[in-house]
């Protein structure tokens, strides 16, 4: 038996393992609507939904695709969604999973942008975020516990994970952390096999340079084609969080094109942070501000399209990597490094989210519901939002 895109399937695969396109669309629309908290929280919710509840993926399959999503440019949680859709339903699943995860956030951000352009300010959502943030931390912790118990197979991998977390906390770029984790795991395998007495020197150079032209007195005219190409370029090279994205956006739209001012850019990034779904919907907001509804659509397609392309290419290599002992060791290291990055993000977010006894109580209750009663993360998010709104109201 073969999968929808030609891979061999286990004998016992059924409808629950390979869902219909309608089921795939529904679950990703739901996640795109309630997935607050950034990539780490999105990944945690996907693990809860697809590994523990629906059992569409094993933990190993989920971790492999998480590792690959972290190694390619673009929004990692969105690319993980695309990977899952591709694995379950081939090319149609790739398009549906990714699009349905993006669309709810893109529509919401467009609505906020309309309000912003008309009234010059952002709507107030402090109360809702007050309750959601600590609940999101509990969801991330639950996913780290579940995935970490599977990924940390040896004491060496545990040591690599600790080193990766420390490196990330000290400010080492995420891609460097992941590459070093994979190389370290492969080196351990090589030393254990006794096949090498000398250490290989591997140097990785990666950078992106943007040369700002002399400051022009006139603003470059807005063009939908230029808007698309600018966001396609950014989506093709950005690794990391929304804060890394901020630097690229500033260079492109303030220094080079002069389409935005500093306040508009900060507001755009803020919208991407406090709305559910991908943080990269910041592009949707910018697109609307500079070119209306068509600009919002063009910018959204431009920044997310590279992720679909990268996943379509990389998805064909996962099984080949796992078939090689050395490739498997590298991927194991990258998986552990990915979880270390999640742990550091959870710590950083936790410090900002748990600010008083009320938020601590929300965190503890959410954790108990998740760990003890295996509650659905979607209901926890909704409940926490209601509690936060009532507390602030």
Read off the pLDDT of residues 329-371 as tens digits, 9 standing for 90 and up: 888 888 888 888 888 878 987 888 898 999 999 999 999 998 9
Calpha distance 120→217 (Å, rounded):
25
pLDDT of residue 219: 63
Asked which of 239-248, 298-307, 355-364 is least confident by mean pLDDT, the reply is 239-248
Backbone CA torsion sign across 45, 34, 310, 173:
negative
Q: How does the average pLDDT of the chain come out, rounded?
A: 82
215-240, pLDDT tens digit by residue? 344 567 889 999 999 999 989 877 65
pLDDT reading at 166 higher than 50: yes
Calpha distance 351→35 (Å, rounded):
20
**Mean pLDDT across the stretch 363-385?**
87
264-281 as b/e: b if 16+ CB within 10 A: bbebbbebbbbbbbbbbb
Calpha distance 31→77 (Å, rounded):
11
pLDDT of residue 159: 95
C-alpha to C-alpha distances, 101 to 90, 280, 354, nearest whole angstrom? 16, 12, 28
CA atoms within 13 A on the CB side of 213: 10
Backbone CA torsion sign across 62, 67, 68, 70:
positive
Phi and psi (nearest 5°) for 100? -70, -25
Which residue has 């094993």 as its token pair? 58
**Mean pLDDT across the stretch 260-284?**
84
Calpha distance 389→128 (Å, rounded):
5
Asked which of 46-60, 119-133, 193-207 is least confident by mean pLDDT, the reply is 193-207
111-163, pLDDT tens digit by residue? 999 988 888 777 766 777 788 888 878 888 888 898 888 889 899 999 999 99
If one compares 4 and 139, the residue with the highest pLDDT of the two is 139
């Amino acid at each position: 038996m073969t999968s929808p895109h030609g891979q061999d399937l286990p004998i016992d695969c059924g409808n629950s393992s390979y869902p219909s396109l309608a089921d795939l669309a529904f679950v990703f629309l739901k996640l795109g609507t309630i997935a607050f908290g950034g990539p780490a929280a999105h990944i945690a919710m996907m693990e809860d939904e697809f590994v523990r509840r629906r059992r569409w993926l094993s933990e190993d399959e989920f971790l492999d695709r998480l590792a690959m999503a972290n190694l390619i440019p673009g929004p990692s949680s969105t690319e993980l969604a695309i990977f899952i859709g591709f694995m379950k339903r081939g090319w149609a699943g790739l398009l549906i999973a990714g699009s349905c995860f993006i669309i709810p956030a893109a529509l919401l951000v467009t609505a906020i942008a309309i309000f912003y352009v008309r009234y010059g300010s952002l709507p107030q959502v402090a109360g809702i975020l007050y309750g959601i943030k600590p609940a999101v931390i509990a969801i991330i912790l639950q996913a780290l516990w579940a995935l970490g118990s599977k990924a940390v197979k040896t004491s060496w991998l545990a040591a690599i994970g600790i080193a990766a977390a420390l490196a990330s906390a000290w400010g080492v770029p995420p891609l460097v952390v992941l590459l070093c984790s994979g190389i370290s795991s492969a080196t351990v395998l090589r030393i254990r096999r006794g096949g090498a007495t000398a250490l290989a020197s591997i140097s990785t150079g990666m950078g992106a340079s943007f040369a700002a032209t002399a400051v022009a007195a006139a603003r470059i005219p807005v063009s939908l084609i230029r808007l698309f190409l600018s966001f396609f370029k950014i989506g093709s090279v950005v690794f990391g969080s929304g804060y890394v994205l901020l630097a690229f956006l500033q260079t492109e739209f303030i220094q080079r094109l002069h389409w935005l001012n500093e306040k508009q850019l900060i507001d755009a990034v803020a919208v991407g942070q406090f709305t559910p779904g991908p943080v990269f919907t910041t592009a949707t907001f910018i697109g609307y501000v500079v070119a209306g509804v068509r600009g919002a659509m063009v910018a959204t397609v431009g920044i997310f399209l590279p992720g679909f392309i990268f996943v379509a290419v990389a998805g064909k290599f996962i099984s080949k990597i796992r078939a090689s002992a050395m490739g498997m060791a590298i991927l194991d290291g990258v998986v552990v490094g990915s979880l270390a990055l999640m742990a550091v993000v959870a710590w950083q977010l936790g410090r900002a989210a748990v600010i008083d006894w009320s938020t601590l109580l929300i965190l503890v209750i959410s954790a108990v519901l998740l760990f003890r009663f295996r509650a659905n993360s979607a209901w926890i998010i909704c409940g926490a939002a209601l509690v936060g709104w009532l507390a602030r109201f």
